Amino acid sequence: MTSLTVSTQDTADGAPAEADLPSFDTVRAAAARLEGVAVRTPLLEAPLLNERLGCRLLVKPECLQRTGSFKYRGAYNKISALPDAVRKNGVVAYSSGNHAQGVAAAAQVLGIAATIVMPADAPAIKMANTKGYGATVVTYDRYTEDRAMIAETIAEERNATIVKPYDDPFIVGGQGTVGLEIAQQAAELGVTPDAVLVCCGGGGLVSGTALALTHEIPGIPVYAVEPEDFDDTKRSFETGRRESVDPNARSICDALLSERPGRITFALNRKLLAGVVTVSDEEVRRAMRTAFTDLKVVAEPGGSVALAAVLEGRIDIKDKTIVAVISGGNVDPALFAEALAS
Amino acid sequence: MTSLTVSTQDTADGAPAEADLPSFDTVRAAAARLEGVAVRTPLLEAPLLNERLGCRLLVKPECLQRTGSFKYRGAYNKISALPDAVRKNGVVAYSSGNHAQGVAAAAQVLGIAATIVMPADAPAIKMANTKGYGATVVTYDRYTEDRAMIAETIAEERNATIVKPYDDPFIVGGQGTVGLEIAQQAAELGVTPDAVLVCCGGGGLVSGTALALTHEIPGIPVYAVEPEDFDDTKRSFETGRRESVDPNARSICDALLSERPGRITFALNRKLLAGVVTVSDEEVRRAMRTAFTDLKVVAEPGGSVALAAVLEGRIDIKDKTIVAVISGGNVDPALFAEALAS
């Protein structure tokens, strides 16, 4: 854990009112919109891994989702819920990775224009994929320009809607369908999970998943997992305010590098989560190898933190049934090969 | 294609009588035994890959099956169908790879002893996994000893049953549940596949899959795909007799290195398949990369030949709906990293 973290208090805006927060109904409505549109990813398990761990581990592989991450769920839910007259003007998003692809693909399926603001030095493959889904990509210099400002200018010019990466009830609701499916699939297997672990960047996936799971299985402990130098949600839990990460913090988990928790996501997570744990980059690489060896899925670094927390025993797993979400699989071949070799 | 192939005719034994062949009912009975025991692997697709290919490609990832390959289906079906008094004496199998793990895991689930005869130089990971499922491993020297003879001696001593890798109606029936699921899942998606491609070593998976698919979707073309130097089924189709591969043939597809088609599998395949195509090792590596990049699953070399045949256009795919089975994902990290880099 870093000692360089800067404590930036949540002064700009207070916590949202309870009535403004998404509810279980938000997730249920999202599930109806996503029916037949998003992949209902299976729950995977590997008997030999279970034996090594001394628990029953069920993995929800969102790397098998359309666009290779869960982000498609929230993006599609948000865009499809817009009134027709608003949606037809298109959408704008800023992201260097999975959200970009999720928004681009959802917009393509819904037949509207998408403009994605991406850093000029974003990985070529992610930019190519985003364009591949028919989106217009606008680049900016991440060291001198403000991407949110650029996105807002474009949105205003075109009367288009900005699709935020996590701090939006429809995004949280869409990601929450992961939790709803976990509850349903566990019931189909005849088991009740003792704990569920979910990665946490801005907190959209874990808050939505907790929203669904705590409704369906009251009292179930849901944990957020962060990279150790990006432990803003962990520290925010400690202080009760939205804390920011050190600008110099680094991690291989490129999908989880958000600066601080969202307003909505933090309000939900404070209420719903059992706790927050962290993992190191080396532990993430080990989890990527385990996903490869035992589960046969491609997990990107940020997608592997929940699995890493299980493998490293960050919570008590002995003789329990544990669910871990692998949130995405968009990783460069070279980085993946390096993780396999390390 | 090699020009070194030696034509060994099928003289030792004739074709089996029609009545001895597994039927669709064999597959249906297997599906009932495997219900809730084997993973119902999903049908995956990747929109960007579809666009590049100009077709709709649905992939059945049996790498996500228990033990990392489809072999668990046939092994479990065979062993669970044995009369109690026979099954309790245990089972014996010979295999250096996926069949070993499938038999060991099925025996463990069913609570009986399994002895697996493996070459002393089998990959350490495969031997460790086989032992991990509780099997006793007996090693032999693959250059001087006859594994079938060793297995038969052990089986006789213990009154145990030999579980053959493919040439057994129960094995074919179990593997055929892959085809049954493809038919069901395509129907759930509201599509009728124009063609289905399946890897072919001894022919158990492709014959069983064709048995189920041609029953459920009459007239559907099912193709076997072989490594180009292990084209024994292709050449056997040409001559009408079971031809053998050249003893000096080599391929990275370690799961598909069987010497010649099985009696049962060849009889079925002759009757049911639309054709046989082949792919090179380099094409297989490319398919492994595509499975990684676009589908986020780990495909072993032998598991990738059907996908390779689609990517290389071995059959007409233009504007069609194509299904390809990825049969397994048990591959060493080093070999996988090499395929990603090449």
Residues 6 or more apart from A19 whose CB is under 8 A from it? Answer: none
Partner residues linked to B161 by β-bridges: B91
Give the fold, CATH level 3, of A90-159: Rossmann fold (3.40.50)
Q: How far apart are the first and last CA of chain B?
A: 22
Q: What is the second-level CATH architecture of the domain B71-166?
A: 3-Layer(aba) Sandwich (3.40)
Nearest residue in B to A334, CA atom: B341
Give me the residue label for tokens 């004739």.
Answer: B14
Q: What is the pLDDT of residue B13?
A: 55
Nearest residue in B to A63, CA atom: B296
* Residue A9 in this model has a pLDDT that exceeds 60: no
Cα–Cα dist B4/B159, whole Å = 41
Measure the CA dihedral A176/A214/A184/A290, to 10°: 70
Q: For B89, which DSSP code?
A: T
- Indicate yes or no: CB of A39 within 8 angstroms of CB of B41: no
Nearest-CA distance from A183 to chain B in Å? 17
Cα–Cα dist A35/A184, whole Å = 14
Q: What angle do CA A85, A91, A93 make, to 5 degrees?
A: 155
Q: Do B231 and B201 contact (CB within 8 A), yes or no?
A: no
Nearest residue in A to B303, CA atom: A296
Please tell me whether the overall predicted TM-score, pTM, comes out greater than 0.90 for this model. yes
Partner residues linked to B195 by β-bridges: B322
- Indicate yes or no: CB of A292 within 8 angstroms of CB of B336: yes
Domain boundaries, chain B: 21-69+170-341, 71-166
- Tens-level pLDDT at each residue, chain B (342 residues): 333 333 344 444 578 888 789 999 999 999 999 998 999 999 999 999 999 999 999 999 999 999 999 999 999 999 999 999 999 999 999 987 899 999 999 999 999 999 999 988 877 778 899 999 999 999 999 788 999 999 999 999 999 999 999 999 999 999 999 999 999 999 999 999 999 999 999 999 999 999 999 999 999 999 999 999 999 999 999 999 999 999 899 999 989 988 899 999 999 999 999 999 999 999 999 999 999 999 999 999 999 999 999 999 999 999 999 999 999 999 999 999 999 998
Q: Do B93 and B133 contact (CB within 8 A), yes or no?
A: no
Partner residues linked to A275 by β-bridges: A223
Give me the residue label for tokens 């990971």.
Answer: B125
Comparing CA positions, the residue from A253, A256, A233, A177 lying closest to residue A210 is A177
* Residue A187 in this model has a pLDDT that exceeds 70: yes
Q: For A43, which DSSP code?
A: P
Q: How far apart are the first and last CA of chain A?
A: 21
- Helices B281-290 and B333-341, axial angle in degrees (round to 10): 90
- Alpha-carbon dihedral sign for residues B11, B13, B18, B22: negative
Amino acid letter for position A225:
V
Q: What is the pLDDT of residue A122?
A: 79
Give me the residue label for tokens 């590596």.
Answer: B285
The tokens of B112 are what? 């009986």
Nearest to B297 among A40, A125, A297 (CB): A297
Q: Do A314 and A284 contact (CB within 8 A), yes or no?
A: no
Q: What is the pLDDT of residue A1?
A: 36
Q: Do B66 and B329 contact (CB within 8 A), yes or no?
A: no
Q: Do A109 and A76 contact (CB within 8 A), yes or no?
A: yes
Q: Which residues from chain A sit within 8 angstroms of residue B289, using beta carbons?
A: 333
Neighbours of A82 (CB within 10 A): 17
At A115, give phi and psi (nearest 5°).
Answer: -115, 125
Comparing CA positions, the residue from B335, B221, B339, B206 lying closest to residue B282 is B339
Q: What is the pLDDT of residue A97?
A: 87
* Exposure letters B275-297 (e unless 16+ CB within 10 A, then b): ebbbbbbebbbbbbbbbbbbbbb
Cα–Cα dist B48/A145, whole Å = 31
Determine the residue among B67, B294, B296 to mutate to test chain A binding: the one whose Cβ has the most chain A Cβ atoms within 10 Å. Answer: B296
- DSSP track, A281-294: HHHHHHHHHHIIII
Q: For B295, which DSSP code?
A: I
Q: Do B180 and B73 contact (CB within 8 A), yes or no?
A: no
- Please state which of the four CATH numbers 2.40.340.10, 3.40.50.1100, 1.10.10.10, 3.40.50.300 is assigned to the domain occupying A18-69+170-341: 3.40.50.1100
- Indicate yes or no: CB of B132 within 8 angstroms of CB of A44: no
Residue B18 burial (CB < 10 Å; 0-12/13-18/19+)? exposed
Cα–Cα dist B304/A336, whole Å = 19
For residue A178, what is the enclosing H or E element?
helix A177-189
Lay out the sheet containing B114-119: strands in order across. B136-140, B114-119, B91-94, B161-162
Comparing CA positions, the residue from B310, B303, B323, B312 lying closest to residue B222 is B323
Residues 6 or more apart from B21 whose CB is under 8 A from it? Answer: B169, B264, B267, B268
- DSSP track, A157-214: HHTPEE--SSSSHHHHHHHTHHHHHHHHHHHHHT---SEEEEE-SSSHHHHHHHHHHH
Domain B21-69+170-341 identical in fold to domain B71-166: yes
Q: Do B127 and B137 contact (CB within 8 A), yes or no?
A: yes
Strand stretches in A209-269, DSSP E: 222-227
- Indicate yes or no: CB of B64 within 8 angstroms of CB of A42: yes
What is the distance, to the nearest Å, from the Cα of residue B302 to the centroid of all Cα atoms in its chain? 9
Cα–Cα dist B103/B114, whole Å = 7
Q: For A113, which DSSP code?
A: -
Nearest-CA distance from B296 to chain A in Å? 5
- Indicate yes or no: CB of A329 within 8 angstroms of CB of B289: no
Cα–Cα dist B74/B100, whole Å = 12
Q: How far is CA B258 from CA B166, B203, B204, B230, B255, in A?
A: 10, 9, 11, 8, 8
Question: What count of residues does chain B have?
Answer: 342
- Please state which of the four CATH numbers 2.60.120.10, 3.40.50.1100, 3.30.70.3150, 3.40.50.720 is assigned to the domain occupying B21-69+170-341: 3.40.50.1100
Comparing CA positions, the residue from B320, B278, B325, B322 lying closest to residue B304 is B325
pLDDT in tens, A247-296: 899 999 989 988 899 999 999 999 999 999 999 999 999 999 999 999 99
Cα–Cα dist B115/B138, whole Å = 7
Partner residues linked to B324 by β-bridges: B59, B197
Q: What is the pLDDT of residue B1?
A: 35
The tokens of B328 are what? 């397994």
Q: Do A190 and A203 contact (CB within 8 A), yes or no?
A: no
Q: What is the pLDDT of residue B142?
A: 79
How many helices (H) and strands (E) would you count in chain B?
A: 15, 9
Nearest-CA distance from A14 to chain B in Å? 40
Q: What is the mean pLDDT of chain A?
A: 93
The tokens of A170 are what? 């429809």
Amino acid letter for position A39:
V
Q: What is the pLDDT of residue B124?
A: 78
Nearest to A132 among B51, B61, B336 (CB): B51
The tokens of B14 are what? 């004739």
Nearest-CA distance from B322 to chain A in Å? 18
- Indicate yes or no: CB of A68 within 8 angstroms of CB of B296: yes
pLDDT in tens, A114-139: 999 998 887 777 889 999 999 999 99
Q: How far is CA A94 from CA A103, A244, A256, A303, in A?
A: 10, 19, 15, 20
pLDDT in tens, A73-115: 999 999 999 999 999 999 999 987 899 999 999 999 999 999 9
Q: What is the pLDDT of residue B123?
A: 75
Nearest-CA distance from A340 to chain B in Å? 6
Q: What is the pLDDT of residue A13?
A: 55
